[in-house]
């Protein structure tokens, strides 16, 4: 008898399984290479015509964009944006005038052809044209004037704070500019009682054009036209989903069982967070070593900074955030009257980089705090909201959102914490963080301690009744 005859031959299913595993490995490698190469933000046109808020726009100022109207680019519940795009005629300037509005903060930003902020001017920087600046002088009221120039921004401190620079002529075919308002104090009037700023085009030969004449001269998109659009960044849904399915991803990826708070370090790094863990770890290490300069996001606000954390209900259907709230003014004009840490603070739940939609927000004046300004914020879906996550129990509830990442994963979400205009003496602001990580060490009690739990477990902690 042949000795080899005692060795059983491999079964056909074993061969097939081996081939299948090999194919899957090759496919995973191919998907990883493809995703790394092509997974980057893309700009898509957001159409405004037919959906703008009546009485709150004109032939220059578009929108406005709010969390409930044109929900894209991770809006904040306290924010209102009026974008515009135009082409400055040779030798011309724009003159923007308005009363100082009654709101928490306002600014004007110009952007380059890649949608990165080029220059900005904001409320307390402005020298009043008449009266006083209520953001710097308590009790003052006044009027400002800004000149917009198609010139390169001077290096260092600007010689005139009331000038907004657009960059060299020809740098962008259409120049984006955004007017931002935060927390208007005038009810349904989103302009803060000042109306939309008046804009006049001063041509090279000295003519002063306004209204429709000005809009035609600078080529701003006309109301109702198909080109009344603004480009907004997203990433492709298919490649996003590929990144979430890569071999080696841990449970809940890109969220972690202990929420990881990282400072926003630019759009490219934000995309890396949904990819292989070793990629973002390398960027974190480079940021610590000073080898990775911080970059801007699309249409970023130069007065704001963020820390973000992916969250996932696979770790628990309730997320508890405990921290200390910086001192912020009740109104923008109060900034000149008191000792505050920063102008504005918020915590928001959001969907994925595919949709960039807002789910919910709480901002400073809506957060319940004790006499030491400590807060507890409970994040959950409406269905999983603990019965004691109420104002009466001293708890601020934040809606996780109904749609998760917005593209099929109902468990996954993104938390964004914003700091706007910290006082120069408040050193624990996000703006001062030297690296992507280390928020807990650097920010101390102002970085939220984050822990997953269940609805019943949180309800078992009871209710600490608070005074109304």
Radius of gyration of the chain (CA): 26
- CA torsion, points 294, 299, 304, 310, in degrees to nearest 10? -70
pLDDT of res. 43: 58
Domain of residue 131, residue span: 43-232
5 within domain boundaries:
no
Cross-strand pairs, 45: 231
Task: Indicate if 196 and 288 belong to the same structural domain.
Answer: no
Instruction: Return the sign of the alpha-carbon dihedral for residues 210, 216, 220, 222.
Output: positive
Mean pLDDT of the region 431-453: 97
309 within domain boundaries:
yes
Q: Which of 298, 300, 305, 319 is nearest to 255 (CA)?
A: 319
Q: Which of 313, 307, 321 is nearest to 404 (CA)?
A: 313
pLDDT band at 70 (very low <50, low <70, confident <90, very high): confident
> Is residue 308 within 8 Å of residue 261, measured between CB atoms?
yes
17 within domain boundaries:
no
Mean pLDDT of the region 143-161: 92
22 within domain boundaries:
no
In percent, the amount of the chain with pLDDT more than 70 equals: 88
Q: What does the chain come to in residues?
A: 468
Residue 30 has pLDDT above 70, yes or no: no
pLDDT of res. 13: 54
pLDDT of res. 46: 62
pLDDT of res. 171: 60
Q: Of the residues 232, 260, 285, which one is the last residue of a structural domain?
A: 232
380 within domain boundaries:
yes
Q: How far apart are CA 371 and CA 134, in angstroms?
A: 29
Q: How far apart are CA 198 and CA 196, in angstroms?
A: 6
Q: Of the residues 203, 232, 261, which one is the last residue of a structural domain?
A: 232
Neighbours of 383 (CB within 10 A): 9
Q: Give the per-residue SS3 of the chain.
A: CCHHHHCCCCCHHHHHHHHHHHHHHHHHHHHHHHHHHHCCCEEEEEECCCCCCCCCCCCCCCCCECCCCCCCCCCCCCEEEEEEEECCCCCCEEEEEEECCCEEEEEEEEECCCCCEEEEEEHHHCCEEEECCCCCCCCCCEEEEEEEECCCCCCCCCCCCCEEECCCCCCCCCEEEEEEEEEECCCCCCCCCCCCCEEEEECCCCCEEEHHHHHHHHCCCCCCCCCCEEEEEECCHHHHHHHHCCCCCCCCCCCCCCCCCEECCCHHHHHHCCCCHHHHHHHHHHHHCCCCCCCCCCCCCCCEEEEEEEEEHHHCCEEEEEEECCCCCCCHHHHHCCCCCEEEEEEEEECCCCCCCEEEEEEHHHCCCCCCCEEEEEEECCCCCCCCCCHHHCCEEEECCCCCCCCCCCCEEEEEEEEEEECCCCCCCHHHCCCCCCHHHHHHHHCCEEEEECHHHHHCCCCCCCCC
pLDDT band at 169 (very low <50, low <70, confident <90, very high): confident
For residues 158 and 198, the model is more confident at: 198
Residue 294 has pLDDT above 80, yes or no: yes
Task: Indicate if 188 and 280 belong to the same structural domain.
Answer: no
pLDDT band at 175 (very low <50, low <70, confident <90, very high): confident
In percent, the amount of the chain with pLDDT more than 90 equals: 75
pLDDT of res. 42: 63
Mean pLDDT of the region 71-90: 91
Residue 162 has pLDDT above 70, yes or no: yes
Task: Indicate if 193 and 284 belong to the same structural domain.
Answer: no
Instruction: Return the sign of the alpha-carbon dihedral for residues 148, 151, 152, 153.
Output: negative
pLDDT tens digit sequence for 352-379: 999 999 999 999 999 999 999 999 999 9
Query: Could you tell me the end-to-end alpha-carbon distance of the chain, in angstroms, rounded to an integer?
Result: 94
Among 42-56, 181-195, 256-270, 311-325, the least confident range: 42-56
Task: Indicate if 187 and 297 belong to the same structural domain.
Answer: no
Q: How far apart are CA 422 and CA 441, in angstroms?
A: 18
pLDDT of res. 28: 47
Residue 174 has pLDDT above 70, yes or no: yes
Half-sphere exposure of 293 (CA within 13 A, CB side): 2
pLDDT of res. 227: 82
Task: Indicate if 208 and 275 belong to the same structural domain.
Answer: no
pLDDT of res. 194: 98
262 within domain boundaries:
yes
164 within domain boundaries:
yes
Residue 38 has pLDDT above 50, yes or no: no
Task: Indicate if 93 and 147 belong to the same structural domain.
Answer: yes
Task: Indicate if 65 and 194 belong to the same structural domain.
Answer: yes
Q: Of the residues 232, 262, 287, which one is the last residue of a structural domain?
A: 232
pLDDT of res. 16: 59
Structural domain count, the chain:
2
Q: How far apart are CA 376 and CA 367, in angstroms?
A: 9
Task: Indicate if 155 and 283 belong to the same structural domain.
Answer: no
pLDDT tens digit sequence for 298-330: 889 999 999 999 999 999 999 999 999 999 999
> Is residue 260 within 8 Å of residue 67, measured between CB atoms?
no
> Is residue 193 within 8 Å of residue 181, measured between CB atoms?
no
Task: Indicate if 185 and 289 belong to the same structural domain.
Answer: no
Mean pLDDT of the region 170-180: 80
Mean pLDDT of the region 67-71: 82
- The bridge status of strand 396-399 relative to strand 229-234 is unpaired
Among 163-172, 182-191, 435-444, the least confident range: 163-172
pLDDT of res. 22: 47
pLDDT band at 106 (very low <50, low <70, confident <90, very high): very high
Residue 3 has pLDDT above 70, yes or no: no
The mean pLDDT value of the chain amounts to: 90
| 92-114 as b/e: b if 16+ CB within 10 A | bbbbbebbbbbbbbbbbbbbbee
Task: Indicate if 110 and 207 belong to the same structural domain.
Answer: yes
Q: How far apart are CA 181 and CA 116, in angstroms?
A: 19
Task: Indicate if 183 and 289 belong to the same structural domain.
Answer: no
> Is residue 134 within 8 Å of residue 336, measured between CB atoms?
yes
CATH number at residue 197: 2.60.120
Task: Indicate if 303 and 379 belong to the same structural domain.
Answer: yes
369 within domain boundaries:
yes
Output the six-digit token pair for 322.
């405990």
Mean pLDDT of the region 83-103: 96
């Amino acid at each position: 008898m042949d000795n080899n005859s005692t060795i059983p031959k491999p079964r056909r299913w074993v061969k097939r399984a081996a081939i299948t595993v090999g194919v899957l490995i090759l496919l995973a490698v191919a998907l990883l290479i493809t995703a790394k190469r092509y997974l980057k933000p893309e700009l898509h046109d957001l159409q405004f015509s037919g959906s703008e808020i009546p009485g709150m726009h004109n032939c220059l100022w578009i929108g406005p964009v709010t969390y409930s109207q044109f929900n894209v680019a991770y809006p904040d519940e306290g924010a209102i944006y009026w974008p515009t795009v135009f082409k400055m005629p040779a030798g011309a300037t724009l003159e923007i005038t308005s009363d100082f509005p009654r709101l928490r903060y306002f600014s004007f930003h110009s952007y380059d052809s890649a949608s990165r902020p080029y220059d900005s001017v904001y409320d307390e920087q402005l020298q009043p044209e008449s009266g006083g600046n209520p953001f710097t002088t308590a009790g003052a009221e006044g009027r400002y004037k800004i000149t917009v120039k198609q010139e390169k921004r001077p290096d260092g401190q600007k010689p005139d704070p009331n000038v907004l620079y657009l960059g060299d002529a020809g740098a962008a075919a259409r120049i984006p500019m955004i007017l931002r308002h935060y927390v208007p104090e005038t009810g349904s009037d989103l302009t803060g009682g000042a109306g939309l700023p008046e804009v006049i085009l001063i041509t090279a030969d000295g003519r002063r054009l306004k209204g429709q004449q000005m809009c035609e001269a600078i080529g701003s998109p006309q109301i109702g036209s198909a080109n009344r659009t603004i480009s907004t960044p997203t990433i492709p849904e298919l490649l996003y989903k590929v990144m979430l399915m890569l071999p080696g991803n841990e449970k809940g990826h890109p969220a972690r069982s202990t929420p990881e708070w990282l400072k926003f370090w630019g759009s490219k790094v934000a995309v890396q967070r949904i990819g292989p863990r070793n990629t973002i770890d390398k960027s974190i290490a480079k940021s610590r070593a000073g080898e990775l300069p911080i970059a801007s996001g699309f249409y970023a606000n130069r007065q704001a900074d963020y820390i973000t954390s992916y969250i996932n209900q696979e770790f628990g259907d309730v997320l508890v955030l405990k921290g200390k709230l910086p001192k912020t003014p009740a109104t923008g004009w109060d900034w000149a009257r008191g000792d505050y840490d920063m102008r504005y603070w918020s915590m928001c739940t959001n969907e994925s980089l595919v949709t960039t939609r807002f789910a919910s927000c709480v901002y400073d004046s809506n957060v319940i705090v004790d006499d030491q300004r400590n807060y507890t914020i409970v994040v959950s879906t409406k269905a999983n909201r603990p019965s004691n996550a109420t104002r009466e129990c001293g708890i601020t509830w934040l809606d996780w959102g109904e749609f998760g990442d917005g593209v099929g994963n109902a468990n996954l979400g993104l938390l964004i914490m914003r700091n706007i205009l910290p006082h120069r003496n408040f050193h624990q602001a996000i703006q001062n963080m030297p690296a992507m990580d280390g928020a807990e060490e650097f920010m101390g009690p102002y970085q939220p301690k984050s822990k997953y739990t269940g609805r019943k477990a949180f309800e078992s902690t009871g209710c600490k009744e608070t005074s109304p």
